[in-house]
Amino acid sequence: MIKDIHRAIDELYSEMVDIRRYLHQYPELSFHEIETATFISDFYEKLGIPYQEKFGGNGVIATLKGGKPGKTIALRADFDALPIQEENDVPYKSKIDGVMHACGHDGHTAVLLTLAKAIQPFQSELPGTIKFLHQYAEEQVPGGAKPMIEAGALNEVDAIFGTHLWATTPLGVLQTSKNAFMAGADDFEIIIQGQGGHGAQPHHTKDAIVIGSQVVSELQKIVSRRIDPLATAVITIGVFEAGDAFNIIADKARLTGTVRYLRKDVQKQVKKEMETIIKGVCIGNDATYTLNYNDGYPPLINHEKEADLVLQSANKIPEIHKAEEIIPEMAGEDFAYYMMERPGAYFFTGAQIENHEFPHHHPKFDIDERALPIAAKTLIQAYFDYQEEHK
């Protein structure tokens, strides 16, 4: 039966691409995915597959109960977009000014919808139950995964799998990890209050730019000199705002950035060291500060057995020529919350366009659409293999 489902996925390839391109043209930002959620609900309505909308927010969950006994497995796809102006010159370019599917979530949605359509004719032969979990707001903390879980998205679910179309991994390559796979992702804001004045009289000021620059430099020493070299951490300052004129010394500076980590003890140490360093620099310069540190998504830790199952399942997909374990990716993903509740695994499906090496969240981001059926086949193969292992 699995080969017949794979064949059905191939037969629906054109529709899969059409869905992806339609959603790409009409992206919606996190927590504002009203029309996209309606599109998803309408799709299941036409198929006659039972679904729940407005689940934990803008989420949609469809349930296909097989005719044979088995486990209940959730397959997840996210569907929000980003505040980016698209720069691709393609027929399916975003029609919404300043909003773009720059991370492949349109493709994730197309994969799950088409997979549901491909499977439905085999429902009577299907072991167990599939939950098609369409999640909103992955891109923006606090995200959609946690409220959907709190609303009962994982009730009666035995395991969960998900994939991310990965634009910097070659087509035909599947990647995952049997442990930490993606990083915890926090954000912070630092406000430094000095004393402004005339650019010709620096001795009468407390230069917030100089103080802020010292803070930036010192924070990098946390990773290079305070954290165990065998541990992993990233501290990035993404914004430094200060000053209004070339001849005025700024009285205030605002810095924002992100911290990435794989272990909670490292996160705790970074937070402590940041406070110590910022306080020390400001005291030394007779300035004051405010540090606002926000915990984001936790690290995504795959379950070893389920991740190994994904690798074995991938080897059964003819279009996949390499299934490999990789070191963790330091991007964040709120799929992490599902992994804290149920066994499962998350994996990358290679979707790189040849000679188009633009990363995720880039204005020229795009994917090789031939990756869509590969993702669908791998998800359903993992589903069947899990059922076989847990008879």
Q: Give catalytic residues, as residue numbers.
A: 80, 138
The type of residue at 367 is I
Taking the C-alpha atoms of residue 186 and residue 170, their distance in angstroms, rounded to an integer, is 29
Cα Rg of the chain (Å, integer): 24
Distances (CA, A) of 1 to 8, 128, 194, 341, 343: 11, 14, 70, 30, 25
Q: Please answer whether residues 41 and 99 qualify as being in contact, where contact means their C-beta atoms are separated by less than 8 angstroms.
A: no
Residue 323 φ then ψ, to 5°:
-120, 115
Residue 275 φ then ψ, to 5°:
-60, -45
Among 307, 270, 314, smallest CA distance to 161 is for: 307
Residue 225 φ then ψ, to 5°:
-130, -10
Taking the C-alpha atoms of residue 252 and residue 96, their distance in angstroms, rounded to an integer, is 36
